[in-house]
A and B are shown apart, each in its own frame.
Chain A
Amino acid sequence: MSDFDGAAMSRFVSTFADRLHERREELTQLDSAVGDADHGINMDRGFSAARAKLAELGEADLGTMAKTVGMTLISTVGGASGPLYGTFFLRLSTSLGERDAASTGELGAALRAALDGVQQRGKAIADDKTMVDALLPAVEAFDAASGDGIGPALAAAAQAAAAGRERITPLVARKGRASYLGERAMGHPDPGATSTTILFESLRDAVAAD
């Protein structure tokens, strides 16, 4: 399997945008149980715009592509998801730099930088019941499996994200609007951890499609 290149980045963003659009109602439904019923709508709007911007950009290095996605998300998503997913892609951008392709290790380092950025921006830690509970195990699983190559590492990451999302569903939320609910948030899946799971599944499938 080849490195993670610009074509893979395009497929990743495009696949994620498609799936957010398909699952827009589901994400909004999850958010109406614990938040303000806009997660699916906002993510769909932001990633559709990001995909369009990437298409306009044409050929570019990985850092420029990720920066374009991040800036577009910050400008179009709003809510908490805009700054958080925007920061995720901006940190990918800084880490990937002017590379046209990233090795498995380089992609892992970029994902780690993205995780750090999201945690700095949102100040969430493990078990706060946020997107971090899908993102953190995904990055750790990627690192642990990176010796097997990019495909298996991304498969492990996607699996860990989904498991993280399941694991926190029974918890009380400690960040974001769901935290206002106290025990009433228990048993509801977290919308942000759900969209982060879809992100890693999209990344896995975009690379596997090469």
Chain B
Amino acid sequence: MKKLINSTDAVVDEALAGMVAAHGDLLRVIEPNVVVRADAPRQGKVGIISGGGSGHEPMHGGFVGMGMLDAACPGAVFTSPVPDQMLAATKAVDGGAGVLHIVKNYTGDVMNFELAAELAQAEGIEVTSVVIADDVAVKDSLYTAGRRGVGGTVLAEKIVGAAAEAGQDLAAVTALAQRVQDNVRSMGMALTSCTVPAAGKPTFELGEDEMEIGIGIHGEPGRERRKLAGADEITEALMGPILDDGGFGSGDDVLAFVNGMGGTPLIELYIVYNKVAAMCAERGIAIARNLVGSYITSLEMAGCSITLLKLDDEMTRLWDAPVHTPALRWGA
């Protein structure tokens, strides 16, 4: 294992300390490992918190700041945070208007957030939760844990964060988060595996001429291993299920998000975006907004994911609203 770390046990703590050193004007870290917006709690504003295993940076800590998250709870690498963290986060950001938990649909995350919400409610804080489950690679049925939460989470956090910043109440931001969830679809692929620092070796093996289609963001194997193909063919393989499942079609305005998994350079992401744009144009789908870059990663995995969100006017306006976080910043 070759990594730019000091010790496998200190990875998360040292990275958080570095974030505070770099972005102390935007955020602070409180015990037990919660990234909190510097000016939290803001009276009368709904608190928006999220969390999940580390290793997906900049998600979620990099999205803490004005117009997005009030707090983020990073677990160990690829491991759900514990309820103590979400409880501390909920208390730290509660400005009397309640707190929304944005949870990615993984068994551990859902259970730990559920426990935390029960504890926070017992302390008199109103908590709602929305589970993001946008990964069309997973069959959504009674016989699986349901779809995973992937790229749609980034878009939900930005849009919902803007709504909370604008003063919408808990019921409204919760309904909005659910609306984003209902209109967003994603799928990803990997060219290489990744290595969890504490494990020391790659989570899975991929041959030089192989790729994994339908990958998650934890190095868990995808649904299908295929022979390596060109960027256009890979983009088609991801876009097909997204377009079908989401029912995207002529006349729709979408936000197209091409995301890097951590080890893929921007130059390749633009090659993918080029094909995404062409495929949308062929179908009469208007890309009203876009995002290209590595925002929800899987350590050093090479690969990408594509996310399409069907926009309405309110979502578009909230996407454009000012945001000032370590990873996303515009209008402020």
Measured CB to CB, the residues of A under 8 A from B are 28, 32, 34-38, 41-42, 74-84, 121-122, 172, 174-177, 179-182, 184
Contacts and interface: CB of A to CB of B under 8 A. Distances in A.
B75 interface: yes
Q: Could you tell me the dominant secondary structure of chain B's interface residues?
A: loop
A179 B107 CA distance: 11
A79 B80 contact: yes
A179 B112 CA distance: 19
A78 B144 contact: no
B301 interface: no
A136 B219 CA distance: 30
B293 interface: no
A75 B223 contact: no
B326 interface: no
Q: Which 10 A-B pairs have the closest CB atoms?
A: A80-B108, A83-B111, A79-B108, A36-B218, A179-B144, A78-B79, A80-B107, A176-B107, A179-B145, A174-B143
Contact of B111 (A37, A80, A174, A179): A80
Given A78-B108, A83-B111, A122-B111, A35 B220 contact: yes
A118 B108 CA distance: 13
A28 B78 CA distance: 13
Nearest to A41: B198
A175 B82 contact: no
B210 interface: no
Interface residues of B, number: 39
A180 B216 contact: yes
Contact of A78 (B112, B137, B145, B221): B112
B76 interface: yes
Interface of B: 32, 53, 75-84, 106-108, 111-112, 114-115, 137-139, 142-145, 148, 196, 198-199, 203-204, 216, 218-223
Contacts of B107: 80, 122, 175-177
Contacts of A181: 220-221, 223
Contacts of A80: 80, 106-108, 111
B144 A37 contact: no
Contact of A38 (B143, B199, B216): B199
Contacts of A180: 137-138, 144-145, 148, 216, 220-223
A36 B145 contact: no
Given A74-B82, A179-B143, A36 B112 contact: no
A80 B76 CA distance: 13
A128 to B, nearest CB: 9
